[in-house]
Amino acid sequence: MSYNQPGPYGQQPPQQPGPYAQGAPAGQPGYGYPPPPPPPGTPYGAQQPYGAPQQPAPYGQQPQPGYPGQYPPPVPPQGGGKGKAIGITIGAVAVVGALIAGAMYFMGGGGDVKPYTIVLPEKLLDGKYTKNSVSSPGSKQTSTQDLTDNAKVKELGISNGTSVSGSYANAEKQALSVIGVYGELPDPAKTVDAMIAKSEEEEKKSAETRQGVKVETVTPWSEFSPSGFDGAVMKCVTKKTTVNAGTISVSNEATECIWGDSSAIGVVKHAVSKSNSPYGGTTATGNVMSPKETSEAAAKVRNEVRKEK
């Protein structure tokens, strides 16, 4: 998972935020770019995260030493007395280590988790973020889409996919957007990396066609392992986008984290937008979360939205 997202791979974007197959949600700027100054009475929304997923120890990997069936042989004793005692001790430690590794494997420490769906509640992160209301006719606060036959999603390594997305805000008008695609991911790490590569490519193309837009990478993509996260991989990035149009200046700083496991890919993005527009657009207060803080928030969001099948 920071920035301008094109419409779904070959599909017409709905009015709601939608991962991989939809455009940015109503009231929110596209991935990585704050929108031009809004007309009077139109709030300035948060950006929509881009569409790409990623990684842990996926299915299909060769079993590593220490996993069940791969216990290392005990070290042969070297003669008698002291040498024999050392050999027995080292062998015992190796077996214990193998048992622990095996237990972690079955508990999902490698990102191999029980299949689950993603359901977005009305509030997230201990009730601090509330789902945005939508006033346009026919629009919904949460968007769900069947991506089973979406070729682009399949190219990312996701089969039988279903996407869910929604946007939230807190009292400081900071934005939190969530996108999830659940299905089957035989190689979550590869999928996450593919998503990141795709989003970077799309952002670069968008930057070439926009005047007065500057995108800076504040903190490059880095991997995190927050407490309580049993997925295969989580990677985060922070970027800052500024738009100058005459005397009007708009800035958007956003941190995005992507998690991946055997059942789903998820994108959690925290954004703080500020503007000096005379049209009365919404301006957030406070600072954007750091990658570490966002990774911890993403782990909590994952637990809040995860529903076992």
Is residue 1 over pLDDT 70? Answer: no
Is residue 117 over pLDDT 70? Answer: yes
Instruction: Give 282 or 138, the one with higher predicted confidence.
Output: 282
pLDDT of residue 79: 53
Instruction: Give 266 or 246, the one with higher predicted confidence.
Output: 266
| Cα–Cα dist 167/61, whole Å | 35
Residues 135-155 have a mean pLDDT of 78
Residues 82-110 have a mean pLDDT of 45
Is residue 104 over pLDDT 60? Answer: no
pLDDT of residue 248: 85
Q: For the whole model, what pTM was predicted? A: 0.66
Is residue 259 over pLDDT 80? Answer: yes
91 confidence band (pLDDT: 50, 70, 90): low
